[in-house]
Amino acid sequence: MPTPATASRQLALGVLATGMLMTVLDGSIVTVAMPAIQRDLGFTPVGLSWVVNAYLIAFGSLLLLAGRLGDLIGRKRMFLAGTGIFTAASLLAGVAASPGVLIAARFLQGVGSAMSSAVSLGILVTLFTAQRERAKAIAVFSFTGAAGASIGQVLGGVLTDALTWNWIFFINLPIGAATLLVALRALPADKGLGSKAGADVIGALLVTSGLMAGIYAVVKIEEYGAGSARTLGLGGLALALLAGFLVRQARTANPLMPLRILRSRSVAGANVVQMLMVAALFSFQILVALYLQKVRGYGAAETGLAMLPAAAVIGAVSLGVSARLIAHFGERNVLLTGIVMLVGVLGLLTRVPVDASYATDLLPVMLLAAGFGLALPALTSLAMSGADEADAGLASGLFNTTQQIGMAVGVAVLSTLAATRTETLTAAGRPAAEALTGGYHLAFAVGTGLLLVALAVAATVLRPAAASADRTRMTMAA
């Protein structure tokens, strides 16, 4: 029978997981409703992309800042404020009657999501300090993210078809209100370090504007091209701002991001691996859905159902297996096994035929996606193991930031490569379905390469001795 303290922590975990579910669900549910939104509000094709981009830019650029502010003013306070902003912005998005209002609401949703997501892992690791308990809690948290992406694809189609697109935003209102009410009681109160411990306004402006410029440049690659003056100029500006931020953090007395956190091999290595892994797996999450719809002729709901086995095995492995394997074999070994399985996923997809049979060509791919259920919890544990309690929010924000950067890079680069290859094959006289499949093959091949690089980094940088040293340092600091 669970003790009151254990029950309280489990309730807090449920709150954090629900917050994650809302964030991930919102990111995937919108994509299915885009045609209906364009038709009802009169978006231009270019303007429609800002329904996604406004959220992504706000979310990705504010995660690091929000994570550190959570350490300074209190992580519970930051989570509550972020959830409140996200819920209010969802109402605004649902009643939007013009493109400008919807884009503004999506930007505010991104702000709220950044505030709550950035500190969630920080709260989690301070609640669950024992290695086995923490592994189980992170497995639940990771499963929620994976499940949210899959549920969103199915739920978006159902709500849009049965009701209207507005309900993809209205559904957040009861979830957000319930999360706020429970969080007030369940999450532990923390005063934070105080603003004097890292109130670096100039650093905050540098990192936020640098990330915003960089993410904007990446998401617009497909429109302007990777070698265009606009893309290169924005990319150069982003790098200059971020370099300025790092220089300031090394010199200022109260840095927003103490650079000591990057001295941990576990933290630095896990974030690099995650960026590569997420960029590669965009080709699975998005391009497989496009292949099913554009090549195989599946509808939106059919596509979601076709990808449901992947969500099921990811969930089963995350919740039922990963924590025990991590306890017996260590995070690094479980991570390496998971990445090898994911290499198999994208490697098989490089050979998927135009007339693929779901049972023989696609179902094995969906089942191998279980590797994500191994890799993500192990990677999350490694990323948080090198941060002490004072930097837990920062480490959480950094981990979420690299995830968003990886996603943005994957969207821009792999979709551009696929589109360019498809155009080349079409110009050569190939049938439309064959040309599309050829484009996807190229993206899957590049994704496989990114996963192999991630595997090499994990094997060389995330050595067991380094992870053990980081964990010891964290325990002593606590």
CATH of the domain at 31: 1.20.1250.20
Q: Give pTM, 2 decimals.
A: 0.76
188 and 268 belong to one structural domain: no
Residue-wise pLDDT for 106-152, tens only, equals 989 989 988 888 888 778 878 877 777 777 777 777 777 666 666 66
Determine the number of helices (DSSP H) and then strands (DSSP E) in the chain.
Answer: 23, 0
Structurally, the chain folds into a number of domains equal to: 3
pLDDT single digits (tens) 377-432 = 888 888 877 666 666 667 777 787 788 778 777 877 887 788 888 889 999 989 98
As a whole number of angstroms, the distance between CA 235 and CA 367 comes to 38
Q: In the predicted model, is pLDDT for residue 451 greater than 70?
A: yes
Task: Identify the pLDDT of residue 229.
Answer: 86
pLDDT, mean of residues 237-254: 85
Let me know whether 146 and 212 are in one domain: no
Quick one: 324 and 460 in the same domain? Answer: yes
Same domain (yes/no): 205, 187: no
Burial 29-52, CB ≥16 within 10 A → b, else e: bbebbbebbbeebebeeeebbbbb
> Domain containing 212: what range?
200-255
Which amino acid type is present at position 134? Answer: R
Amino acid letter, residue 281:
L
Structure-block tokens of residue 459? 């094997």
CB 451 within 8 A of CB 348: no
The verdict on 132 and 144 lying in the same domain is yes
Ramachandran sector of residue 357 (left: φ over 0; alpha: ψ -120 to 50; beta: rest): beta
Round to whole Å and give the CA distance between 462 and 224: 37
187 and 209 together in one domain: no
Tell me: do 286 and 223 sit in the same domain. no
Whether residue 149 is found in the same domain as residue 24: yes
Bin 467: left if φ > 0, else alpha if -120 < ψ < 50, else beta: alpha
Whether residue 94 is found in the same domain as residue 217: no
CA distances from 424 to 292, 416, 429 (A): 21, 12, 9
330 and 386: one domain? yes
Note whether 77 and 189 are within 8 A (CB).
no
Q: Please indicate, yes or no, whether residues 154 and 208 belong to a single structural domain of this protein.
A: no
- Is the same domain home to 288 and 210? no
CA-closest candidate to residue 272, choices 82, 163, 402: 402
Give the pLDDT of residue 476. 43
Domain final position from 220, 239, 255: 255
